[in-house]
Amino acid sequence: MNDASHLTVYGGIPTLLCGPRGGNTCEANEYPEVDSLVRLLRGSIGIPC
């Protein structure tokens, strides 16, 4: 769960989440899977900010 769920549920604001897969979320030893991170970065290239 993250803050975006509150925007959608309570505010009716559509949200899009993207990020790498990983493990140990919100723990001291949280990590991203390298292949997933590479795919995310490749997909992000060219998206205007």
Provide DSSP, 10-37: HH----------EESTTSTT-EE-HHHH
**What percent of the chain shows pLDDT beyond 70?**
96
pLDDT-based confidence at residue 49 (cuts at 50, 70, 90): low
Q: What is the mean pLDDT of the chain?
A: 87
- From residue 30, how far is each of 4, 21, 42 by CA, in Å? 20, 11, 22
Q: What is the pLDDT of residue 36?
A: 93
- The pTM of the full predicted model, rounded to 2 decimals, is 0.57
